Amino acid sequence: MILDIIISGLISGSVYALLAIGFSLIFGVARIVNIAHTAFYMLAAYCIFFVTQKAGLHPLLGMLAAFVIVTLLGLLAYKLFIDPIREHEGAVLIGTIALAIAMQEVMLLLFSGDYVSVPSLIKGYFAISGVKVFYQQLLTFGMVLVVLFALWVLLMKTRLGLAIRSTAEDREVANLMGMNDSRVAMTAMGVSVGLAAITGAVIAPLTILTPFMWMHPLIMMMAVVVLGGMGSIKGSFAGAYILGFAEALVVFLIPKGAFLKGSVALSIMILVLLIRPEGLFGIAFEEER
């Protein structure tokens, strides 16, 4: 059972990590609480569905199309809906909720509410000491590691990364140093939505597609981000695996209460916040930045 819990926790944690890191990035850089983040993930999943099931093309092509199209849509959404109201955090919050619902309704009109699915990129499974693991789950886990590495390279080893980190540290000073904070924010938005698209692309074969599929991950992603500390990528990573393992523990230790896995994970988040209100890796006061 321990192996079951480890594998199940790693898989769930990886999914939450992919989503939460993208969300954290844009919040950390531009203080944008993008509620539509998981709606972009839903768009990517439908994009793959369209390319593979309607157009009959290879899933890899679907993934590529999803990444490109959703990232472009994310940039467009930023330019049209977020950038003009960026200084008003409350307005951004409500605006992105509206954006997510609009995306949901468009998908509902285009694809109806029927449940659909997409084929796995790698079919089949393997067993570790009797525990069966899908290759697609392994791919998801591998993808998290690759994405994290790529993100680390981008943030730590490139000039763009330096600009993003500087803007996240102190926007005004970064601006005075000649960095165009609006452009940096837009780039961060592109990277963030791109991450949501990648998540959608690797998760789509493991899940059921519906226009409402963005809601549950949104709650879990917010929980991960708050648990880890708002804007902290490191915190999101840790928070994702904590909640992933909490869910796995519930399913295996209380089978009759499997439906409680989300509630238990959220309770852990509340418990951590009671002890450490800024989250695991958050910064207690704005002045400390």
Kindly state whether residue 262 participates in binding other proteins, applying the rule CB under 8 A.
yes
Q: In whole angstroms, what is the distance from residue 181 CA to residue 30 CA?
A: 8
Return the structure tokens found at 135: 């290759």
C-alpha distances out from residue 105 to 99, 111, 188, 189, 278, Å? 10, 10, 26, 23, 35
User: Using CB under 8 A, which of the segments 65-73, 157-165, 235-243, 247-255 binds other proteins?
Assistant: 247-255
Kindly state whether residue 8 participates in binding other proteins, applying the rule CB under 8 A.
yes
Kindly state whether residue 53 participates in binding other proteins, applying the rule CB under 8 A.
yes
Could you give the angle at the alpha carbon of 186 between the alpha carbons of 182 and 188, nearest 5°? Answer: 115
Measured from the CB of residue 54, what is the shortest distance to other proteins in angstroms?
A: 12
In the chain, beta strands by DSSP E: 125-128, 131-134
Measured from the CB of residue 286, what is the shortest distance to other proteins in angstroms?
A: 37
Measured from the CB of residue 248, what is the shortest distance to other proteins in angstroms?
A: 6
Kindly state whether residue 116 participates in binding other proteins, applying the rule CB under 8 A.
yes
Kindly state whether residue 223 participates in binding other proteins, applying the rule CB under 8 A.
no
Chain centre distance of CA 89: 20
Q: In whole angstroms, what is the distance from residue 213 CA to residue 217 CA?
A: 8
On whether the CB atoms of residues 124 and 135 are closer than 8 A, the answer is yes
Measured from the CB of residue 162, what is the shortest distance to other proteins in angstroms?
A: 38
User: Using CB under 8 A, which of the segments 33-41, 65-73, 162-170, 258-266 binds other proteins?
Assistant: 258-266
Return the structure tokens found at 154: 């981008």
C-alpha distances out from residue 214 to 8, 134, 200, 210, Å? 21, 23, 10, 9
Name which of 193 and 213 has its Cβ closer to other proteins: 213
Kindly state whether residue 175 participates in binding other proteins, applying the rule CB under 8 A.
no
Q: Which of 128, 152, 158, 259 binds other proteins (CB under 8 A)?
A: 259
Kindly state whether residue 56 participates in binding other proteins, applying the rule CB under 8 A.
no
Summarize as ranges the residues that interact with other proteins (CB under 8 A): 1, 4, 8, 11-12, 53, 108, 112-120, 123-125, 131-134, 137, 206-208, 210, 212-213, 216, 248, 251-252, 255-259, 261-262
